[in-house]
Amino acid sequence: MSVTINFKNTIKKYGDVAVINDLSFGVKAGEFFTLLGPSGCGKTTILRMLAGFNSIEGGEVLIDESVINKTSPHKRNIGMVFQNYAIFPHMTVYDNVAFGLKVRRFGKKQIQQRVDEILKIVQIEKWKDKYPKNLSGGQQQRVALARAIVIHPKVLLMDEPLSNLDAKLRVEMRVAIKKIQNRIGITTIYVTHDQEEALAISDRIAVMNTGKILQIGTPEDIYMRPVDVFVATFIGHSNIFNAKLVVEDNTSNVLFKDGYRVRLSKMYDESQAIRVAVRPEDLILNTNSVGLKGKVILGTFLGQRINYEILLDEGSSVLVTQDINNLERIIPGGETVYLSIGAEERINIFDEAGNRNLILKENNYDGKKS
Amino acid sequence: MVKKANLDFWLIIKIVLFFLLAFFLVYPMFNLFKGSFFDVESGKFSLEYYKEYFSRSYYFKAFRNSMTVSSLATLLTVLVGAPLAYIMTRFRIRGKRFLAILIIISLLSPPFIGAYSWIMLLGRSGVITKLLSYIGINIPSIYGFKGILLVFVLKLFPYVYLYVAGALKSIDSSLEEAAESLGSTNIRKIMTVTFPLIMPTMLGGALLVFMTALADFGTPMILGEGYVTMPVLIYSEFVGEVGGSAGFASAISVLLVLFIIVVFYLQRYIVNKRTYEMSALRPVEARELKGSKKFFAYLYCYVIVGLATIPQIVVVYTSFLETNGPIFTGGYSINSYTTVIRRMGDSIQNSFIYSIVAVVIMIIVTLFISYLSVRRKSFSSNMLDTMVMLPYIIPGTVIGITYLITFNSRPLILSGTAAIIILSLVIRRTPTIIRSSTAILYQIDPSIEEASISLGYHPAKTFFKVTVVMMLPGIFSGAILAWIRSICELSSSIILYSGSTKTMAVAIYVEVIRTSFGTAAAISTILIGSTVIALMLFFKLTGREEISL
């Protein structure tokens, strides 16, 4: 019953400027698919092309097998949840949710039954007769969600739906959204700039920048094997080192600036200048003179872990995270420490420009691979 | 077709609006312009009318008179209104709310009531004049320049008051506190911080006073007695008993309109360059005054508001006096009312019907135009908005003669009908609602409409079911103001009315000219009563006791 969505060589222009150029990707039936990227990267534009609020200047957008480029937005049967909820302030919760059913000419009984059912699912049946202004942000968000899914749309679109909520509610709501989506099994496209939210909620994520999709994959894939330096630094934190890949004597090694060497298990063809991305949790602090030498600038105690900002002798500043369980003491500022790589398979190696992950065979994001 | 589906509906609306504006605004204005350049008899192009205007000092004098009395009135309203606004917002004055409401009522009551009330008090046989001459004091004549100025100042200072009070309330207390903590004295603080911040707004209010004074017809007509201003000149040249000339009146109108447009854009240019967007999180709190300062503050507020309210009081009071023509015979009665209802019931009915029909049309036009100019921004939408705002600065007298010249002949003959009066009201007062309506629409997030569309409602259906429903409460308050203005309208109806389409304002004017003060007062009281009720409705709807114009 769920549908697939396909963008084929899609183009969006504002005047003569193409903000989305020749973009293709596919969303599987029933999938929770997230467009993630910094603001202005074009993710909302894509969502609005699908919803019909932005015109499409080239290519095709398909829901299942049918091209929807020319379908009026009110005939697309797409449920949309807006960033500011867009709840009708002059209607009660019940009327808001029933709004889309009324135009579909359902009988009164049927409307009532479906509204009640959906209100129960999103857990706001208590607020049925209230006006939106008497609801909290989280409750309004649930109304918006209920209103979008009660019409049994083919596709559910959500445009930064949690960005107006406070941090705690955001986490609570994203769990709720994920559960409801699971239960209904509707194909969903979700837009956010919050990488943590994207990792937590998605089946697959498309990471975008400047109108292009850089990588599509499961949250684990993208976190573990980012395709380029942008993705590596945008998703979670990565420390980026300029280094050399040295291939000699049937071994491949990463040679850091100050002479620290890490042997790789994978073989490479030739020596070259590279950039290495290492997550803060993959750097191990030691005082045994192993690894990169540096000085602690500041340790920040965060409860479960401690973040250290460390200025390396080679000149760059890095972030290291230490789990509270491995803690012997909090290292004071000014002390000299050494940083070694914990597990070589967890680091990522990019070409000198930072555009290609040398560990991955190809930067393929057509969605079929995973 | 996403675009097409939306466009079709709005394109039709846009075309219809353009057509209506072209026919009821551009075409008449063009006619006026054309009429001023072509000789009526020969039909040939001629600059004769303009030559005539500039060759006779009598005509040019009208322009000088208008300029003098309007500029002086503007200056004085600022000198009266700005301090009043400062005292009323910054200090604790008992009865402040009441005073503020009186100020608004005096601003919104029919403009010419002031003129004839003051005649009843200070005119040749006025109550005060007689009283004073009885004890041997002769006061200067109320007629002519001085009287017009007096009435203008008392009638129009509320504009300055409302603008300045609004600006003062929008100054966050932290700004003035910052000035104080940096060591500014009180006077210095006012001159270097407060005054510069409210300056642009004050200029806006002053411009409104100037425009209103320049365009006012009733006051100089009733009080002028030889002191002829431009609107009076246009009117008398147009309907003049000694061979009125439409062509000549047109030429004067064109000159007046051109002058006003220049002033308007000049002012806008100056003000726009230095307007500050402010909204106070914490407005400055009113302080308690002490001693003589307190005495003078109270005296100032109560005297000014008292003077502004006198015309209303005089009118209501005299409406209950027993009269015989211009003579008050002593004693009280409701005879004036029975006379009015017997003889002028039609006018009352007309006024209500015309103004209500006009306001309904205004609301519809406004809904469409503000939607187009906010949601479908384009060159043509923008042009619609500019066009519909134009009559805001055109004097009513000019609109009146323009309409009569144009719709006196084919293709559309409307002269003498109710339609021509209603249309002139719509054209003149739509600008009053449009600004507030656009402001409301800017506050409604477009995603609310998109939500409705994505839920399956056609864009046109969405407009009526969601957008309009959300805009209406806000538009209603603007509509009430437009209604008050419409029901009190004189300057264009006086030209456009015929026997059966006489309105209350026209009836009052006619009664005043016939010095039938009792009946004039009775109709005026009905008119004032209606505006006060409307105003109370406005306050109730908006939940505030202030208006923004």
Domain ranges of chain A: 5-229, 230-351
- Chain A neighbours among B 135-174 (CB < 8 Å)? none
What residues of A are in contact with residue B466 (Cβ under 8 Å)?
88
Mean pLDDT of B454-468: 92
Question: Concatenated DSSP letters for A82-121?
Answer: -TT----TTS-HHHHHHHHHHHTT--HHHHHHHHHHHHHH
Q: Where are the beta strands (DSSP E) in B165-268?
A: none
Q: Which domains does chain B show, CATH number per domain?
A: 1-32+339-549 (1.10.3720.10), 47-318 (1.10.3720.10)
- The answer to whether domain A230-351 has CATH 3.30.1490.20 is no
Q: Within a 13 Å sphere around the CA of B465, how many CA atoms are in the beta-carbon half? A: 22
Mean pLDDT of B481-505: 90
- Chain B neighbours among A 35-64 (CB < 8 Å)? 51-53, 55
3-state SS, one letter per residue, for B64-118: HHHHHHHHHHHHHHHHHHHHHHHHHHHECCCCHHHHHHHHHHHHHCCCHHHHHHH
Among the residue ranges A269-278, B174-183, B196-205, B495-504, the one predicted with the least confidence is B174-183
In tens, the pLDDT along B501-525 reads 999 999 998 888 888 888 889 999 9
Name the residue with tokens 């200056």: B75
State the smallest CA–CA distance between residue B409 and chain A in angstroms.
Answer: 47
Structure tokens at B109: 């009551």
What is the pLDDT, as a whole number, of residue A137?
87
User: Is there a contact between B455 and A103 if contact means CB atoms under 8 Å apart?
Assistant: yes
What is the pLDDT, as a whole number, of residue B3?
45
B425 DSSP 8-state letter: H
User: Is there a contact between B447 and A55 if contact means CB atoms under 8 Å apart?
Assistant: no
- Distance separating alpha carbons of residues A196 and A201, to the nearest angstrom: 9
- Does B469 touch chain A if contact means CB atoms closer than 8 Å? yes
Residue type, A58: G
What is the pLDDT, as a whole number, of residue A363?
46
- Does B377 touch chain A if contact means CB atoms closer than 8 Å? no
Cβ–Cβ under 8 Å, residues B428 and B391: yes
For residue B263, pLDDT over 50 is answered with: yes
Smallest CA–CA distance from B459 into chain A, residue: A74
- Distance separating alpha carbons of residues B257 and B393, to the nearest angstrom: 8
Closest CA to B336 of B531, B204, B165, B525: B525
Closest CA to B113 of B165, B154, B59: B154
State the smallest CA–CA distance between residue B4 and chain A in angstroms.
Answer: 9
Smallest CA–CA distance from B449 into chain A, residue: A86
- Distance separating alpha carbons of residues A238 and A223, to the nearest angstrom: 10
What residues of A are in contact with residue B444 (Cβ under 8 Å)?
none
Smallest CA–CA distance from A105 into chain B, residue: B456
User: Is there a contact between A80 and B450 if contact means CB atoms under 8 Å apart?
Assistant: yes
Smallest CA–CA distance from A86 into chain B, residue: B448
The runs of H, that is alpha helices, within chain A are 43-51, 93-103, 108-121, 137-149, 167-184, 195-201, 219-224, 229-234
pTM reported for the whole predicted model: 0.82
Mean pLDDT of B422-429: 94
Q: pLDDT tier at B278 (50, 70, 90 boundaries)? A: low
- Does A104 touch chain B if contact means CB atoms closer than 8 Å? yes
Which strands, in side-by-side order, build the sheet including A261-264?
A261-264, A251-256, A239-248, A272-278, A348-351
Query: Looking at chain A, how many residues does it have?
Result: 370
- Chain B neighbours among A 147-176 (CB < 8 Å)? 147-148, 151
Write b or e for each residue in B507-535: b if 16 or more Cβ atoms lie within 10 A of its Cβ, otherwise e: bbbbbbeeebbbbbbbbbbbbbebbbebb
Distances (CA, A) of B169 to B156, B281, B367: 21, 10, 30
- Distance separating alpha carbons of residues A296 and A317, to the nearest angstrom: 10
CATH number of A5-229: 3.40.50.300
- Distance separating alpha carbons of residues B203 and B43, to the nearest angstrom: 44
User: Is there a contact between B450 and A86 if contact means CB atoms under 8 Å apart?
Assistant: yes
- Does B466 touch chain A if contact means CB atoms closer than 8 Å? yes
The runs of H, that is alpha helices, within B109-172 are 112-122, 127-134, 145-169
- Distance separating alpha carbons of residues A125 and A118, to the nearest angstrom: 8
- DSSP element (H, E) containing A32: strand A32-36
Query: Looking at chain B, how many residues does it have?
Result: 549
Closest CA to A235 of A246, A221, A251: A221
- Distance separating alpha carbons of residues A18 and A11, to the nearest angstrom: 7
Residue type, A203: D
% residues pLDDT > 70 (chain B): 95
- Chain B neighbours among A 75-94 (CB < 8 Å)? 75-80, 82-84, 86-90
- DSSP element (H, E) containing B393: none
- Distance separating alpha carbons of residues B287 and B233, to the nearest angstrom: 49
What is the pLDDT, as a whole number, of residue B5?
47
In tens, the pLDDT along B129-158 reads 888 888 888 888 889 999 999 999 999 999
What is the pLDDT, as a whole number, of residue B545?
66
- Chain A neighbours among B 418-447 (CB < 8 Å)? 445, 447
State the smallest CA–CA distance between residue A24 and chain B in angstroms.
Answer: 21
State the smallest CA–CA distance between residue A211 and chain B in angstroms.
Answer: 22
Q: pLDDT tier at B1 (50, 70, 90 boundaries)? A: very low
What is the pLDDT, as a whole number, of residue A370?
34
User: Is there a contact between B456 and A75 if contact means CB atoms under 8 Å apart?
Assistant: yes
Q: Is A66 exposed, middle or buried (0-12, 13-18, 19+ CB in 10 A)?
A: exposed
Structure tokens at A152: 């049994």
Q: What is the CA radius of gyration of chain A?
A: 25
Beta bridge partners of A8: A60
In tens, the pLDDT along A237-282 reads 999 999 999 998 888 999 998 889 999 988 888 899 999 999 999 9
What is the pLDDT, as a whole number, of residue B270?
77
Structure tokens at B404: 């009569």
What is the pLDDT, as a whole number, of residue A366?
43
Name the residue with tokens 């504009």: B159
Q: Within a 13 Å sphere around the CA of A357, how many CA atoms are in the beta-carbon half? A: 25
Smallest CA–CA distance from B444 into chain A, residue: A86
- Distance separating alpha carbons of residues A42 and A20, to the nearest angstrom: 7
- Does B474 touch chain A if contact means CB atoms closer than 8 Å? no
For residue B334, pLDDT over 90 is answered with: no
What is the pLDDT, as a whole number, of residue B197?
84
Structure tokens at A170: 């955001």
Distances (CA, A) of A335 to A119, A258, A321, B17, B520: 58, 19, 16, 77, 96
Q: State ipTM.
A: 0.83
What residues of B are in contact with residue A82 (Cβ under 8 Å)?
447, 450-451
For residue B210, pLDDT over 70 is answered with: yes
Q: pLDDT tier at B226 (50, 70, 90 boundaries)? A: confident
Q: pLDDT tier at B547 (50, 70, 90 boundaries)? A: low
* Pairing relationship of beta strands A78-81 and A17-27 according to DSSP bridges: unpaired
State the smallest CA–CA distance between residue A216 and chain B in angstroms.
Answer: 27
Structure tokens at B423: 């249309």
Low-confidence residues in chain A, pLDDT < 50? 363-370
Smallest CA–CA distance from A68 into chain B, residue: B1
Number of CB atoms found within 10 A of residue B270's CB: 12
Among the residue ranges B74-88, B208-222, B318-332, B399-413, the one predicted with the least confidence is B318-332
Q: Is A342 exposed, middle or buried (0-12, 13-18, 19+ CB in 10 A)?
A: middle
Cβ–Cβ under 8 Å, residues B406 and B400: no
What residues of A are in contact with residue B458 (Cβ under 8 Å)?
72, 74
Region of B262 (left: φ > 0; alpha: ψ -120 to 50; beta: rest) is alpha
User: Is there a contact between B2 and A104 if contact means CB atoms under 8 Å apart?
Assistant: no
- DSSP element (H, E) containing B440: helix B418-443
User: Is there a contact between A52 and B452 if contact means CB atoms under 8 Å apart?
Assistant: no
- Chain B neighbours among A 244-303 (CB < 8 Å)? none
Among the residue ranges B267-281, B289-303, B483-497, the one predicted with the least confidence is B267-281
Q: At a CB cut-off of 8 Å and minimum separation 6, what does A370 contact?
A: A204, A216, A217, A218, A221
How many contacts, defined by CB atoms under 8 Å, are there between A and B?
76
Q: Where are the beta strands (DSSP E) in A52-91?
A: 58-63, 66-67, 78-81
Q: pLDDT tier at B244 (50, 70, 90 boundaries)? A: low
Q: At a CB cut-off of 8 Å and minimum separation 6, what does B254 contact?
A: B32, B33, B36
What residues of A are in contact with residue B476 (Cβ under 8 Å)?
none
- DSSP element (H, E) containing A36: strand A32-36
Segment B288-291 long-range contacts (CB within 8 Å, at least 24 positions apart): B288/B91, B288/B92, B289/B91, B289/B92
- Distance separating alpha carbons of residues A182 and A176, to the nearest angstrom: 10
- Distance separating alpha carbons of residues B310 and B313, to the nearest angstrom: 5
User: Is there a contact between B450 and A82 if contact means CB atoms under 8 Å apart?
Assistant: yes
Residue type, A81: V
- Distance separating alpha carbons of residues A291 and A351, to the nearest angstrom: 22
Question: Concatenated DSSP letters for B451-474?
Answer: HHHHTT--HHHHIIIIIHHHHHHH
* Pairing relationship of beta strands A239-248 and A272-278 according to DSSP bridges: antiparallel
Name the residue with tokens 């030691």: A286
Region of A93 (left: φ > 0; alpha: ψ -120 to 50; beta: rest) is alpha
User: Is there a contact between B445 and A86 if contact means CB atoms under 8 Å apart?
Assistant: yes
Structure tokens at B353: 């019907």
Residue type, B175: L
What is the pLDDT, as a whole number, of residue B549?
59
**Average pLDDT of every residue of chain B:** 87
